Structure formats: C-alpha cells, structure tokens
A and B are shown apart, each in its own frame.
Chain A
C-alpha cells in the first residue's frame, strides 16, 4: 500500500513569506507526527496529532508555527513570517495508533528560506 507522502518535496521561499507543508499519512493511521531535521542533526519533535486534535504541541518553536489536521487524515504544517533559521527538512510520520506501533516516516520536505 501507499506510504506516507509529503508535498512539496522541496520548497524555496523568501524570508518573511508564509509556507504550507502537507502530509498524507497512511490510510487508517490515527496518529500523525511532525519532526524537523536541521543539517547534521537528528529529527526533533514538533507536534503530534491523535485524530483531529493536537495531543502534544510542545515542540513547536514559537507562535509562527501552526499545524492542523481537520478531518483526522491529511495534515498541514504552516509557517508564518519565515526566517532563515527555519531552513530544514520537515518530516512527517504516522502510526496506526499511538504507543506501541511503529511510526512510518515520509520522505520529508526540504525547506530553504533565502
């Protein structure tokens, strides 16, 4: 079956612009996660959804970052007033249910802020 997909694969934007990154989880997966991976680092947790609600958003760095999952499937990560420090690979993962099951990762979106 289809895995986790993310669009776009690459995004280049100018400092100060608004961007949206999309994640399509595996069908039927109730839990969805966003991570950010800066160059040379491991992924860092941003936010986790169980169904439509954000169960843990403690990793969002500031109020410029926001994520939604209105129908409990597709999720969008939104970044306002982008800064050069936001440049990173944004990874999305999903799992059947939280806790015991594996998190399946997408290929990520590479965001470059110029």
Chain B
C-alpha cells in the first residue's frame, strides 16, 4: 500500500522569503501522480501543483515549484516570495495512475505554514 509522510508539522517563514515543505512517499508503482494541496481555515482544499511521475521536469506554478526526486521518493514544495495569504495547512498527496482500480488520493498529515510580516 502507498503511504505519504510529511515530517514537518509546522513551518514558518518571513514575508517575501522562501520556504520548502518536505514530503516523502512509498510505492511500488512506477507511474503515479503527486500533488500539493492548500487548506486554509475555510476548509476547502485547493490544488497548488501537480507532478506526473513519468515527467523528468519539475512542475512550476508561478511562485510554487517542486523538487521531485523519483529514486529517493521525495516531493518537496518550494514557495518563493511568500505572502501572508500563503498561510495555511499544506498537504502532499499521491494518486495511482489507473482510474479502473481506484482513483483515491492518499494524503500526508499536513504541514501548517505560518507567514510573518
């Protein structure tokens, strides 16, 4: 069974600085998807960035980028130029490639990010 581990319960960053959130996962599959979701106090999960395992290139979305190390099964999120609105819980998630067996997301326990002015 696949597992996702986030070893940082809390992180903090100064506004305009850069912060990196860690995520490791375990799987025997060779192809899969990885995600970072943001959950503000409103509870609604918002997709930040996704990565297909077969792609060598790290995904980037504006100030958000990932460092995907497939051999090490590591998937960290880098937030550049941090803003007050980035403060939230961040969850790393894994999804198997085939929709015909299951299409569920497997989440880590989350990292609470605080942003200080």
Contact = CB atoms under 8 A, between A and B. Distances in A.
Contacts of B99: 31, 50, 97-100
Contacts of A100: 99
Interface residues of B, number: 24
What secondary structure prevails in chain B residues at the interface with A? Answer: loop
B36 to A, nearest CB: 12
Nearest to A99: B99
Contact of A55 (B42, B43, B103): B103
Interface residues of A, number: 30
Contacts of A95: 103
A20 interface: no
Interface in A62-114: 89, 91, 93, 95, 97-100, 102-103, 105-108, 110
Contacts of B109: 40-42
Contacts of A89: 43
